[in-house]
Structure 1
Amino acid sequence: MCVFLNTDGAIHSVFSFSAAGGAICNSKGEWIVGYNRFLGKCSVATTELWGLLDGLLILQKQGYNEVIISSDNLENVISISGNKWGDSSNALIRRIHQILASEESWVLTYAPR
């Protein structure tokens, strides 16, 4: 069964606190599970990467084989898709690479807002 992971991150404009999260839905668009994480102060790119990593870990634990992952952060999608595993200096990107390399039918796509 194919599932969809949509991730996002947000930063409060006044206090600069950030949070990341996402939703996992089935092929009919029906909600399966949602998640979030409070991150404190960090960059937009880092916030988005945490949202993606948390979703991937949930999907692995649930045992899904086919996953379409959508992110609205083009910079992160390019960084993840363009680098060979282990080439990035960013630990989050390296961990995401590790997960994606172990899953044959998982696809990361850019989904503009």
Structure 2
Amino acid sequence: NWVLLNSDGIVKLDLGIGAAGGVVCDRNGDWIFGYDRHLGQCSVFNAELWGILDGLMLLQKQGYKKVVIQSDNLQVVKAIQDNLLEDSNLVLIKRIQQVLQHESHWLLRHVPKEKNQVADCITKMSFDKRKNL
């Protein structure tokens, strides 16, 4: 059975700190799990990459075989798919590419921001949790 991973990364520009997160749902849209991570200082591009990589690692660890990965950042999706490597992101992009090459039924695609709202909310919650610690 296919599962859907929606990932996101955000940066609070006033503070320069980022967070990454996402949500995994089954083919009916029912929640399986969500995840988030506080990143510290980083770019939006790197935050988006961390959102994807964290989701991939969790799915791989849990043994999922058929996955559609969705991101609302077209630049990130193209960089991963087209091998557009930027030096600062080289390790993250390469790691994502390695995971995708290893998993034959995992697909990465771009979606409009409206289709990624749950992942966006989960990622933003990472900042709220951080404030409460």
Alignment TM-score, normalising by the size of structure 2: 0.80
What does residue 44 of structure 1 align with?
A: 44
In the alignment, structure 1 residue 69 sits paired with structure 2 residue 72: no
Question: Percent identity at matched positions?
Answer: 49
Cα deviation, 1:49-75, whole Å, max 9, x if unaligned, reads 000000000000111111000001111
Q: Secondary structure at the match of 1:107?
A: strand
Q: Secondary structure at the match of 1:7?
A: strand
How far apart are 1:16 and its partner, in Å?
1.8
Q: Provide the C-alpha distance between the structure 1 equivalents of 2:71 and 2:14, rounded to a whole number of angstroms.
A: 24
Q: Provide the C-alpha distance between the structure 1 equivalents of 2:45 and 2:17, rounded to a whole number of angstroms.
A: 14
Larger deviation, residues 89-98 vs 10-19: 10-19
In the alignment, structure 1 residue 56 sits paired with structure 2 residue 56: yes
How far apart are 1:13 and its partner, in Å?
3.2
Q: Secondary structure at the match of 1:75?
A: helix
Q: Provide the C-alpha distance between the structure 2 equivalents of 1:80 and 1:12, rounded to a whole number of angstroms.
A: 24
What does residue 18 of structure 1 align with?
A: 18
Q: Provide the C-alpha distance between the structure 1 equivalents of 2:6 and 2:95, rounded to a whole number of angstroms.
A: 18
Q: Provide the C-alpha distance between the structure 1 equivalents of 2:57 and 2:11, rounded to a whole number of angstroms.
A: 23
Structure 1 or 2: more helix by fraction: 2
Aligned residue pairs total 110
Alignment TM-score, normalising by the size of structure 1: 0.93
What does residue 27 of structure 2 align with?
A: 27
Q: Once superposed, which parts of structure 1, at least 4 consecutive aligned residues long, lie more than 4 Å away?
A: none
Counterpart residue identity of residue 82, structure 2: G
Q: CA RMSD in A?
A: 1.1
Q: Secondary structure at the match of 1:15?
A: coil
Structure 2: segments with no counterpart, 5+ residues? 114-133
In the alignment, structure 1 residue 7 sits paired with structure 2 residue 7: yes
What does residue 99 of structure 1 align with?
A: 99
